[in-house]
Structure 1
Amino acid sequence: MLAGLHAYAHLGGISGVVYDQSTRLPLKGVTVQLSGTGKATITNELGQYRFDDLIASKYKVELSHVSFRAQVLEVTVTDDETAFLKTDLATANVELSEVTVSAQRAHDQQLISNLDIRLRPIVNSQEILRIVPGLFIGQHAGGGKAEQLFLRGFDIDHGTDIRLTVDGMPVNMVSHAHGQGYADLHFVIPELVNAVDFKKGPYTTDKGNFSTAGWADFRTKDALEKSFVKLEAGQFDTYRAVAGIDLLGQKGRDKNQSAYIASEYSFTNSYFDNPQNFNRLNLVGKYHGHITPNTNLTLTASTFWSKWNHSGQIPDRAVESGLVGFYGSVDPTEGGETSRTNFNAQFVTVTPRNYVIKNQVFYSNYNFELYSNFTFFLEDSLNGDQIRQKERRNLFGYNGSISKESFMGKTSWTTTLGVQYRHDLTKGTELSHTRNRTETLEPYKLGNINELNAAVYLDELVRLTDRFSVNAGVRVDYFRDQYEDLLALPVTKQHAGDAIVSPKLNLYYTFNPRLQLYLNSGKGFHSNDTRVVVPQGGKQILPGAYGSDLGVIFKPFPKMVVNAAAWYLWLAQEFVYVGDAGVIEPSGKSRRQGIDLSVRYQLTKTLYFDADFNTAKPRAIGEMEGANYLPLAPVFTSAGGLSLQMPNGLNGSLRYRYMANRPANEDNSIVAKGYFVNDLQLNYTQSRYNIGLSVQNLLNTKWKETQFATESRLKNETEPVEEIHFTPGTPFFAKLGVTLFF
């Protein structure tokens, strides 16, 4: 017994830090394995890793990370000493043969996310969203309004059932003037996106409101590899200029610090008959560095402004009769203006006892004004039905967590305790009847919203063996809603509050480095609009969503990665605030089930193929068979293509996306027609410059990007008609860009 204690007392260890060679910043998420021992870990937020309780011997340390060149280091461990390694990883072309399915990374975001962002050029904000497999978007305001989103049998509208964040800062707006969960990502400059973390389903403990169909977090670059200036010009009077300036250069990198500023300006008249006169301006500054040896500080400030005209949705009959062209407009005075200013501060500390403490505070000032006309002359045959939706918002909050990874033999577990707080204050949230975007005819709704969301969560990730991992967690969310009705006489102020408990349980079994089976299960929710829950006396503030995924990740061949999952999601009764009409509609219970299949295949050393196939059967519960369809919910989608990365600098992609026909109303008597379109991206990249050509809709297909079954009346009609109203998708659209690096 004493001999055993004596031997244990003289054990050694290995610790190290891994850096990105190009930016000289610590690299998070690197897989670190000790060959032949079964021991493995992942570098933390500061790029650090550690192995303790090692007997004196020689060891091989294997370092691997997607799109970085793998390294194997030899190190000798002696009694009572901890060997320290400092390693730089250089970027390299993706090799799918090096990708392994690992129990260590079992609960990480889906593997293909990082592969995709490295293989597919991002050319605009919309392409950022399309990186999530199965997520489709539709723009029905010409580019200024947030996209309509589709995922897993959901018509998500503008974000009701997907949680979107940028560097952990919320994008979705609760109780928004236009729609619940409205998520406008246009303040993101695409060239600054470093990675997209995502997961489908309500299975992640630290993701709360809106994460029913899934969530995505866009991580922007902490440092620029080089300063750059980019100029683009294309059809339809399209111009864009982007610049990013590295402020600290090599001196900053030597001190593990970085700072940059970047700006983007866009203008286009677009392909509509009515010139869009679209303007967008983005400005962002970011600092990242050590304020102590074990504390990182990241500060981000940005501002965004956009203004545009749009042609709106047009009915099929207006095009068929020749009243308007396919790219025409019934009400050419539609349009909008929006702005958002953000401040985001993130602190990450690793203590001497290996606790990882994260603190984040954020603030946004947001303004929105939108003019739309969906029904033309249905309600007001003289002035028309144009509406204005407007709000001014202050949003602030805090995210904090403390986590600790512990080891006992081959068993490791990570415990995380987190706290989250978010507060939204809007002033003058408005819905009004207007004419020609200049005259207010009648206010429908006008009020101030005060909405608070506080949450606490506990998450446990246990790697029981080299093959079996369990993740269990629970979060509790509390909401307090207040609405001040400024149209009531006298002005009234009402309150409502509620809480919800969301448990999660996820199991992963890794048979070998080529095959992993997983079962995800959990409860999630999306909050309802304050203007709903207050009049309803607090009923259905937080309708629950219960989901499960049974999936497999496997490599049938060394250079092929396949992810397949069968999934199910059940949603409770909820009340929906229809922002376009200012009314409340009960939606009823619903269920969705389907299959997701994603394939990534490296055909040659330089050519990659990818494809996603997504089926869904969305149905309303409690309705008669044949009258229980969920309008506009996708039933089958597919996206994919070929990506090229040549050593001589030639790179690009040829992509397709397909959405099948889907019901546009409850009995499927009106059908939203599907579409198949192709896009092309070609680049020639050298150390000092890049020349790029992007082509949207390569085959010049005439297609309808967004569609709605709407009852409307045109100027000279005596009776209303319900039929498809649509926004046309882009025709063939070519754009040429030149980027200079310095």
Structure 2
Amino acid sequence: MWTKILSLLFLLASLQAYAHLGHIAGKVCDQATNLPLSGVTVQLTGLGKATITNELGQYRFDGLVASPYKIELSHVGFKTQIVAATVLDDQTTTVNIVMAATSVELSEVVVSSQRAHDQQLISSLDIKLRPITNSQEILRMVPGLFIGQHAGGGKAEQIFLRGFDLDHGTDIRLTVDGMPVNMVSHAHGQGYADLHFVIPELIEGVDFKKGPYRADKGNLTTAGWVDFRTRTALDRSFVKLEAGQYDTYRAVAGLDLLGERGKAKNQSAYLASEYSYTNSYFDNPQNFKRLNVVGKYHGHLAANTNLTLTGSTFWSKWNHSGQIPDRAVASGLTDFFGSIDPTEGGETSRTNVNAQLVTVTPRNHVIKNQFFYSNYNFELYSNFTFFKEDTVNGDQIRQKEHRNLFGYTGSYSTETNIGKTHWTTTLGAQYRQDITHHTELSHTKNRVETLNPIQFGNINEINAALYADELIQVSARFMVNAGVRVDYFRSQYENLLAVPVTTKHATQAIVSPKLNLYYTLNPRVQLYLNTGKGFHSNDARVVTAQNGREILPAAYGSDLGVIIKPFPKLLVNAAAWYLWLQQEFVYVGDEGVVEPSGRSRRMGVDLSVRYQLTKTLYADLDLNTAKPRSIDAEAGQNYLPLAPTFTSTGGLSLQTHYGLSGSLRYRYIANRPANEDNSVVAQGYFVTDMQANYAKRNYTLGLSVQNLLNTRWKETQFDTESRLKGEAAPVEEIHFTPGTPFFARLSLTFFW
């Protein structure tokens, strides 16, 4: 009897105590723009309670006993703040905070269990410390990612990562503000990703993850994914002028349209434009021209609903020298920077509209909706084999397409607490449709005459997906992430060369589960295990011809890693990884053929180190090893051509309080097999770059030097069989595009 009475009294006392608990809530904004800051770590000092601000910059702590508290806020590149707040019974204490930008202090970087799944400590540091001077530098922000340009600057870069020759994007998913960059069933190759419509000065952050471990990332996410975030607002309007060697000129301008009036209303709008021209370092003038125009608006549709609307257009045209064989240089037929077919070149354009809406409900549920549209045009003239097939006219080809791409991405996230366990549940839907008109592969001459159409048709490809993702904060130290996605593909190809015209269809679906574990031993050490299944789709022209077989070969990956901060100013991230692919089944757009290369596996180790040497000097180092092999081939015949086996990047970055900043960097890629038996080797290279800036309040002077030591190097290399004019038989050997020689540019930027 007395036991029951005491239990009842205890329960009533507990309910009474809970009824009088208070709350702390607020919003964090950027002092320069007065716009919300997402991803800020907010902690209650001494209590072990922490959270992350959402997309609207909001944070909240519930169930707090009436008492004074200290709130500590930290964010890379912003001054850490400690704010006092007093909680009263049955009340919500509102604490709105403005954070000011400051120089990076590595000692303030937090290894937190609260943001383990999307932690981007490395990229957040790098984007603040390293100046981005050109479009290529955008991709190089990802540790271990290498790029190669083999069409003089107008064509998308060739990408290398984790033992992959990714071509132009076959096994890496690239997005800008969530809008897809990769083009599926592209005229030049599957997943073709041209990032040149991005103005480098507008990049605010780079989010990335190596491997197929995120439920919200689908097609092409095998080696990993990268999302580039552009600025929501400009701190100030600016004009930047550049001039350099090889008739290189560039002008960039950004205009803040709302100014202080916009900040007062938590709105922003800007217009930016870029124009580039260069003849480049090749013997044949490149006559490269590129124009970019971007407009962006950010504001409120309602108190808790933000709208971000971006519109952009891009156009580029160029000549390029193409790849040249070693024997042509050795014999004196052409110079190292020369060409065999000087009529190669191309023209491309892309116009985008991207609308993003984020709503946070009173119960802290987050609803995201995104609609995007792109109109894309591409025309490229290349000649890889010279006179191998046609000894009279040559082997030049034209690849051309007109594309409309549109889609939707949406998600709904809720947060609940069950005991001491915090659950974040996300349900998402994605839709993408690519419709191309007159996708073409033709044999041409001198970029003028069409000799023979090889492929000509229309593509209609749909990718629809649903996913569910659960992020469980089991304790202050342990976090579990489990997710699954289902993708459905419908591919259609209308062959306009067939008589009569034929239309073929193929459909297939794939299920991709994910499981990730994170354990934070203390604020200095975090362990993680990532596992997941991903896939890459194949070209619609291939899968319809194959009656739908091998549309979506799977990839299975795993990362076992650790993030260590042994000293306040040293951060280390290391991971051992493994990736198994069911089929490297690739459409080779240059030849219009299918090359199934069977199953493959890759394994390796990634190491990233960031160290603050002094108050103003920072060092970074990335080491990446990989062992890529074909599973179905015999030993000694199972090398994967051009797949990197060892890469390293690193450098020193300087940020002073009196305006001087800059960096000295290197990148190194080791020799690697160029064919299946490693009898032909693609030569490695070691190249250094330098950047120096001097900034005052209203202007900045800059000097950029690529290849500071004037190293002679081969940027891209291929083991190709070709025939030069007058040769009796084709010869197979390395064909290459020369890398940039010493290349200096000066810049002057005005702010107001």
Distance in 2 between residues matched to 1:503 and 1:640, nearest whole Å: 35
The yes-or-no answer on 1:577 pairing with 2:600 is no
**Residue in 1 that maps onto 2:6:** none
Residue 483 of structure 1: aligned partner: 493
Q: CA deviation at 1:204?
A: 0.8
**Which segment is superposed worse, 101-110 or 78-87?**
101-110
Structure 1 unpaired stretches of 5+:
none
Question: For residue 258 of structure 2, what is the aligned residue in structure 1?
Answer: 248
Tell me which amino acid in the other structure corresponds to 2:569.
K
Task: Within 5 Å, give how 1:447-458 maps onto structure 2.
Answer: 447-458=457-468
Q: Deviations over 1:322-359 (max 9, x none)?
A: 00000000000000000000000000000011100000
**C-alpha displacement of 1:574:** 4.4
Q: Take 1:575 and 1:734, find their aligned partners in 2: how far apart are those partners?
A: 41
**Contact preservation (8 Å) 2:427, 2:468:** yes
Equivalent of 1:199 in 189, 206, 209: 209
2:96 aligns to what SS in structure 1?
strand
Contact 2:584 2:600 (C-alpha < 8 Å) held by counterparts: no
From 164, 172, 176, give the equivalent of 1:162: 172
Distance between the aligned counterparts of 1:148 and 1:432, measured in 2? Answer: 22
Structure 2 counterparts to residues 401-416 of structure 1, below 5 A: 401-416=411-426
Q: Does 1:51 align with 2:42?
A: no
Q: Which residue of 1 aligns with 2:371?
A: 361
Does the alignment pair 1:17 with 2:27? yes
Alpha-carbon deviation of 1:408?
A: 4.0
Equivalent residue in structure 2 for 1:348, among 340, 346, 358: 358
Q: Counterpart of 2:166 in 1: which secondary structure?
A: strand
Offset of 1:557 from its aligned partner?
A: 1.6
Paired residue for 2:667? 657
Shift of 1:140: 0.1
Cα deviations by residue, 1:591-636 (Å, 9 ceiling, x for unpaired) = 0000000000000000000010000000000111110000000000
**1:203 match: secondary structure:** coil
How far is 1:36 from its partner? Answer: 2.1
Distance 1:298 1:555 in 2: 36
Residue 300 (structure 2) aligned to one of 290, 309, 316: 290
Match of 1:732 among 742, 747, 752: 742
How do residues 292-441 of structure 1 correspond to structure 2 at under 5 angstroms?
292-441=302-451
In the alignment, residue 140 of structure 1 is paired with which amino acid?
H
Alpha-carbon offset, residue 686 of structure 1: 1.3
Q: How many residues align?
A: 742
Separation in structure 2 between the aligned mates of residue 407 and residue 16 of structure 1, nearest angstrom: 20
Report if the CA contact (8 A) 1:559-1:601 is conserved: yes
Q: Deviations over 1:635-685 (max 9, x none)?
A: 000001000001000000000000000000000000000000000000001
2:18 to 8, 20, 32: 8
Query: 1-10 or 312-321, which moves further after superposition?
Result: 1-10
Match of 2:290 in 1: 280
1:443 is aligned to 2:461: no
**2:138 matched to which residue of 1?**
128
Distance in 1 of aligned mates of 2:262 and 2:234: 12
Question: Are the equivalent residues in 2 in contact too, given 1:359–1:398 (CA < 8 A)?
Answer: yes
Whether contact under 8 Å (1:481, 1:497) holds in the other structure is: yes
Partner of 2:712: 702
- Kindly indicate whether the alpha-carbon contact (under 8 Å) linking 1:61 and 1:75 is maintained by their aligned counterparts in 2: yes
Which of 693, 700, 708 is 1:690 aligned to?
Answer: 700
- Distance in 2 (alpha carbons) for counterparts of 1:87 and 1:669: 62
1:229 aligns with 2:249: no
Is 1:539 aligned to residue 540 of structure 2? no
Which whole-Å CA distance do the structure 2 matches of 1:455 and 1:587 have between them? 28
Match for 1:659: what amino acid? Answer: I
2:5 counterpart residue number: none
> Counterparts of 1:37-48 in structure 2 under 5 Å?
37-48=47-58
For the Cα contact (< 8 Å) 1:174–1:180, is it kept in 2?
yes
Structure 2: give runs of 5+ residues left out of the alignment. Answer: 1-10
Structure 1 residue aligned with 2:4: none
Q: Distance in 2 between matches of 1:378 and 1:265?
A: 39
Q: What CA distance in whole angstroms lies between the structure 1 residues aligned with 2:657 and 2:363?
A: 45
**Structure 1 position 290, deviation (Å):** 1.1
Matched position secondary structure for 1:333: coil
User: In structure 2, how many angstroms separate the alpha carbons of the residues matched to 1:446 and 1:339?
Assistant: 20
Q: Give 1:699 deviation, angstroms.
A: 0.2
Q: Secondary structure at the match of 1:383?
A: coil
Q: Which moved more, 1:28-37 or 1:194-203?
A: 28-37
1:83 to 2:93 alignment: yes
Question: SS of the counterpart of 1:657?
Answer: strand
Q: How does 1:143-222 map to 2 (within 5 A)?
A: 143-222=153-232
Cα deviation, residue 576, structure 1: 1.7
Is residue 365–residue 393 contact of structure 1 (8 Å, CA) maintained in 2? yes
**For residues 161-201 of structure 1, what are the alpha-carbon distances to aligned partners after superposition, in whole Å with 9 as ceiling and x for unaligned?**
10000000000000000000000000000000000000000
Secondary structure, aligned partner of 1:157: coil
Question: Equivalents in 2 of 1:395, 1:44: separation in Å?
Answer: 30
Q: Alpha-carbon deviation of 1:109?
A: 3.8
Letter in 1 for 2:683: K
- 2-structure distance, mates of 1:234, 1:38: 53
Q: Which amino acid letter does the alignment assign opposite residue 310 of structure 1?
A: H
Following superposition, the deviation at residue 100 of structure 1 comes to 2.0
Equivalent residue for 1:551, pick from 538, 541, 561: 561
2:729 corresponds to which letter in structure 1?
A: E
Q: Which residue of 2 aligns with 1:609?
A: 619
Match of 2:639 in 1: 629
Query: Quick one: distance in 1 between partners of 2:240 and 2:85?
Result: 45
In 1: Cα distance, 2:676 partner to 2:610 partner: 36
CA contact (8 A) 1:661 1:674 kept: yes
Contact 1:38 1:410 (8 Å CA) reproduced: no
Question: SS in structure 2 opposite 1:701?
Answer: coil
Aligned residue in 2 for 1:500? 510
Contact 1:540–1:574 (CA<8 Å) still a contact in 2? no
Aligned Cα RMSD in Å?
Answer: 0.7
Equivalent position SS for 1:534: helix
| Residue type at the aligned position of 1:34 | L
Cα distance, 1:573 vs structure 2 = 2.1
Measure the CA separation in 1 of the matches of 2:521 and 2:287. Answer: 57
Query: What is the CA-CA distance between 1:406 and the residue it aligns to?
Result: 2.1
Bigger Cα displacement from structure 2, 537-546 vs 95-104 = 95-104
Greater CA drift, 361-370 or 90-99: 90-99
Deviations 1:402-448 (CA, angstroms, capped at 9, x unpaired)? 00122345421211000000000000000000000000000000010
In structure 1, the partner of 2:597 is 587
Measured in 1, the distance between the counterparts of 2:108 and 2:346 equals 48
Please give the TM-score of this superposition, normalised by the length of structure 1. 1.00
Superposed CA offset, 1:333-390 (max 9, x none): 0000000000000000000111000000000000000000000000000000000000
Give the CA deviation at 1:239: 0.1
Q: Is the 8 A contact 1:109 1:198 kept in 2?
A: no
Correspondence list, 1:254-265, <5 A: 254-265=264-275
Which letter maps to 1:722? E
Amino acid at match of 1:242: V
- Match among 599, 620, 629 for residue 619 of structure 1: 629
Separation of aligned partners in 2, 1:301 and 1:670: 46
Relative to the length of structure 2, the TM-score reads 0.98
Q: Is 2:174–2:181's contact at 8 Å kept on the other side of the alignment? A: yes
2:522 maps to 512
Are the counterparts in 2 of residues 39 and 410 from structure 1 also a CA contact under 8 Å?
no
